[in-house]
Chains A and B, each alone.
Chain A
Amino acid sequence: MTADVHIEAVKHRFQSFVALHGIDLRIAAGEFIVLLGPSGCGKTTLLSIIGGFLTPTKGKVLIGGTDMTRLGPKDRPTTTMFQDYALFPHMSLRDNVAFGLRMRGMARRARHERATEMLDMVGLADKAHRRPHELSGGQRQRVALARALAVEPDVLLLDEPLGALDLKLRRQMQDELKAIQRRVGTTFVHVTHDQEEAMAIADRIVVMNHGRIAHCGTPEEVYLRPKTLFSADFMGEMNRIPITPEGDAVTSPLGALPLPRQTGLMCVRPENLGLAGEVPLGKARLTELSFFGAHHRCRFAPLAAPEMGLVAHLPQGEAPEIGAEVALYARNPVILPEEA
């Protein structure tokens, strides 16, 4: 029902293009892992390697402690939920869901019962005799999930399964996915390029870039304490202020800052920039203002360095007038080394 996955020094190349440069990753049994990154970062390649659709050029994949690097998809305790769901168009929902069980030689009645149970779990039991094309996108997505889970895999691989859904449905399906994962206890490995989706569902997020792991940690860690500029930027908007050592503290285009002596970029999320906080940034003029419902998005031009725009999200009703000059403060800054 569930198993851990160890990926050891996995490298993969397509002809001259290196898709993965030595990936090491340990996924615990029952964990919900999200592989996050822009297109071309190697996340889907890694998923295909775990699923057995690709054999890595180098390295090993262990599932439940067994080396499965060279086994095909049908011999692995994994199933994949495809981006386009890959439902069989000529079969009813019940036959789709029962397909894996049929391949395992389960008798007709037993597998139909099981398929109905699975459809019930995703709330589609009443549509068991429909064909996939009669369903909406969200419903198809549920059928694909039921089909993949019907064979009780140890590991479920999800390849951008929510990509085709509209935003509202997507948020709803995220909650459902998470709930179902808790219920069945299967290890989920989910691929996406949407960082909000990743944070909403993941136990741990693996941020990938150019075939390498940029950061791996809980959503809080990845968002609040990013290890690389890439993962810092990818997780959300970030203000960057370059700093250099001066005396016991540091200096920046905004003037001296009360931080320990170091070189790099001070990164501050917009919601951590405001009218109060531990690091004073000096005075700034508000140049643009827009209302986002939960917050005001404000663009400030610091008086010391007007060409540097700082973006702050201020709570409802706390935004100053455009043109007003206010003292800005930063909270929870993260200092990262500047990358080439």
Chain B
Amino acid sequence: MRLLSWAYLVAAFTFILLPVVVLVVFSFQDSRLPVPPFEGPTLKWYAEILADRALMEALVNSLIVAFVSALVALVLGFLAASGLARVYLPGTAAMRALLIAPMTVSYLIIALGLLQMFNTLGVRPSLWVTGIGHVVINLPLCFAILYAAIGEHQKNALKAARDLGASEVQVLWFIAAPMLAPALGAAFFLAFTFSWDEFIIAFLLTRFDVTLPVEIWSMLRSGLSPATNAVGSLVFLVSVGIVLVLEFTLFRKKSK
């Protein structure tokens, strides 16, 4: 049983890590195709993509959209979660359901709906419109995380603050936000990554100022290339870096 367990673990990890390893290894491939045999290593593909202006613009666009849309979703979600946690109203369950609803709808459908609406209104596809779409998908996420983070204990602390004379704004600023800081951080981080990585909404709702996933998509159309490997590896390494930093900072906090 023990041996079987370890064998399974190894097999599973091979399956899970294989594509990433292949991706990274062949980003150093010194030929035109990222397939065996491996030749290299070379950094020329990294040099090429870093010099690619369209790609770098897309990267900046992605960062902006991810940051802004995650922030908006976080603020809206935070306000809604604190508001709904405050008192029990007859409509609470319905409002919660409405706020969560977009989570169960495929991104493609959300994108299509927005595309049609903005078409009718004569609004052209742009980064802004994409940002709006990303808030739509991230708002339920932020709301759900924060709402779940407000347990009985937190509710009582908010109650206590009101009882001691704090206004609603003061309750949010002095008590709710600092108390929910870990959940706020997690929600923002998740929303940021979701937006950063989102393809279909950005694909349908941008035209010239595309985001990184859309730019990578258009790179794919020219077939397999180590340059695409290089972009993918770069995104991967940066993300892993951020995760590790978060892991260690959060870890430090916990042990303190």
- Given A88-B179, A90-B181, A103-B170: A74 touches B156 (CB 8 Å cut-off): no
- Of all chain A residues, the one with the shortest Cβ separation from B156 is A86
From A52, A83, A90, A100, give the contact of B164 (CB < 8 A): A100
* Contact call A79/B164, Cβ cutoff below 8 A: yes
CA distance A147 to B156 in the complex (A): 14
- The size bracket of the interface on B is 10 to 19
- Given A88-B179, A90-B178, A90-B179: A82 touches B166 (CB 8 Å cut-off): no
Chain B, residues 159-171, CB within 8 Å of chain A (1/0): the string is 1111111110010
- Given A82-B160, A84-B152: A100 touches B178 (CB 8 Å cut-off): no
A109 on the interface (CB 8 Å rule)?
Answer: no
Q: What distance in Å separates the Cβ of B150 from its nearest Cβ neighbour in chain A?
A: 13
A329 on the interface (CB 8 Å rule)?
Answer: no
- Of all chain A residues, the one with the shortest Cβ separation from B165 is A103
A99 on the interface (CB 8 Å rule)?
Answer: yes
Q: What distance in Å separates the Cβ of B160 from its nearest Cβ neighbour in chain A?
A: 4
Q: What distance in Å separates the Cβ of B83 from its nearest Cβ neighbour in chain A?
A: 15
Give how many A residues have a beta carbon under 8 Å from the other chain's beta carbons: 25
Is chain A's interface secondary structure helix, strand, loop, or mixed overall? Answer: loop
* Contact call A151/B164, Cβ cutoff below 8 A: yes
B175 on the interface (CB 8 Å rule)?
Answer: yes
From A51, A73, A80, A84, give the contact of B153 (CB < 8 A): A84
- Of all chain B residues, the one with the shortest Cβ separation from A76 is B163
* Contact call A82/B164, Cβ cutoff below 8 A: no
Chain A, residues 65-81, CB within 8 Å of chain B (1/0): the string is 00000001110001110
CB proximity to A under 8 Å, residues B138-184: 152-153, 156-157, 159-167, 170, 174-175, 178-179, 181
List residues of A whose CB falls within 8 A of some B CB. 51-53, 72-74, 78-80, 82-84, 86-91, 99-100, 103-104, 147-148, 151
CA distance A101 to B22 in the complex (A): 62
CA distance A83 to B156 in the complex (A): 9
Which residues of the other chain, A, contact B153 by a CB distance below 8 angstroms?
Answer: 84, 86
CB proximity to A under 8 Å, residues B207-256: none
Most buried by B among A72, A79, A100, A103: A103
* Contact call A74/B159, Cβ cutoff below 8 A: no
* Contact call A80/B178, Cβ cutoff below 8 A: no
- Given A74-B167, A90-B178: A80 touches B161 (CB 8 Å cut-off): no
- Of all chain A residues, the one with the shortest Cβ separation from B164 is A100
- Of all chain A residues, the one with the shortest Cβ separation from B152 is A84
* Contact call B162/A74, Cβ cutoff below 8 A: yes
- Of all chain A residues, the one with the shortest Cβ separation from B153 is A84
* Contact call B170/A80, Cβ cutoff below 8 A: no
Q: List 11 A-B contacts (CB under 8 A).
A: A79-B163, A79-B164, A80-B159, A82-B156, A84-B152, A88-B157, A88-B178, A100-B165, A103-B161, A103-B167, A103-B170
CA distance A123 to B163 in the complex (A): 24
* Contact call A80/B165, Cβ cutoff below 8 A: no
CA distance A114 to B159 in the complex (A): 23
Which residues of the other chain, B, contact A104 by a CB distance below 8 angstroms?
Answer: 165
Q: What distance in Å separates the Cβ of A201 from its nearest Cβ neighbour in chain B?
A: 22
Chain B, residues 17-54, CB within 8 Å of chain A (1/0): the string is 00000000000000000000000000000000000000
CA distance A89 to B174 in the complex (A): 11
Which residues of the other chain, B, contact A86 by a CB distance below 8 angstroms?
Answer: 153, 156-157, 159-160
Which residues of the other chain, A, contact B161 by a CB distance below 8 angstroms?
Answer: 88, 99, 103
Which residues of the other chain, B, contact A78 by a CB distance below 8 angstroms?
Answer: 163
* Contact call B179/A89, Cβ cutoff below 8 A: yes
CA distance A83 to B157 in the complex (A): 11
* Contact call A74/B165, Cβ cutoff below 8 A: yes
- Given A86-B153, A104-B165: A53 touches B178 (CB 8 Å cut-off): no
CA distance A82 to B163 in the complex (A): 11
Q: What distance in Å separates the Cβ of B91 from its nearest Cβ neighbour in chain A?
A: 13
Q: What distance in Å separates the Cβ of B191 from its nearest Cβ neighbour in chain A?
A: 23
* Contact call B162/A72, Cβ cutoff below 8 A: yes
CA distance A147 to B37 in the complex (A): 71
Q: What distance in Å separates the Cβ of B194 from its nearest Cβ neighbour in chain A?
A: 27
* Contact call B157/A74, Cβ cutoff below 8 A: no
From A51, A83, A88, give the contact of B163 (CB < 8 A): A51
* Contact call B175/A88, Cβ cutoff below 8 A: yes
- Of all chain B residues, the one with the shortest Cβ separation from A72 is B162
* Contact call B181/A151, Cβ cutoff below 8 A: no
